[in-house]
């Protein structure tokens, strides 16, 4: 079975400081991992994904994420947070080794960047 855990409901960070939003996953096969961001009154927007290759993935708006197979983690990071980064962030996983098409989402982490 596939699952995603986002252990922090809320993350607060000062503007200009580095930010990390945590995600751990569980799949039986090869993980396909995604990060999405949801701004108020808007749909989810794709940020980045890991399929294979380099463990450090770079995405939109200066975000990056590091795939760690041994820790089954895919934490989202940004070196310097902006107030405009404040939003709800979702990690998602799909089992790339099976025929399953379902994308499993975490419960979301609300990021607040304090000016």
Q: Which residues bind other proteins (CB under 8 A)?
A: 4, 9, 32, 34, 36, 41-46, 49, 51, 90, 94, 96, 100-108
Interatomic CA distance for residues 92 and 48, integer angstroms: 11
Q: Which is nearer to other proteins, 83 or 103 (CB)?
A: 103
Q: Which is nearer to other proteins, 85 or 95 (CB)?
A: 95
Instruction: Assign 109 to helix, strand or coil.
Output: strand
**Lookup: tokens for 36:** 């999405």
Interatomic CA distance for residues 88 and 109, integer angstroms: 6
How far apart are CB 107 and other proteins at their closest, in Å? 5
């Amino acid at each position: 079975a596939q699952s995603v855990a986002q252990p922090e409901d809320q993350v607060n960070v000062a503007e200009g400081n580095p930010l990390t939003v945590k995600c751990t996953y569980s799949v039986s096969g090869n993980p396909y991992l995604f990060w999405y961001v949801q701004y108020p009154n808007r749909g989810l927007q794709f940020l980045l994904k890991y399929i294979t290759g380099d463990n450090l993935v770079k995405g939109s708006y200066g975000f990056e994420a590091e795939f760690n197979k041994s820790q089954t983690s895919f934490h989202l990071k940004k070196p310097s947070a902006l107030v405009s980064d404040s939003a709800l962030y979702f990690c998602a996983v799909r089992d790339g080794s099976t025929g399953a098409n379902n994308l499993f989402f975490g419960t979301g982490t609300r990021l607040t960047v304090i000016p």
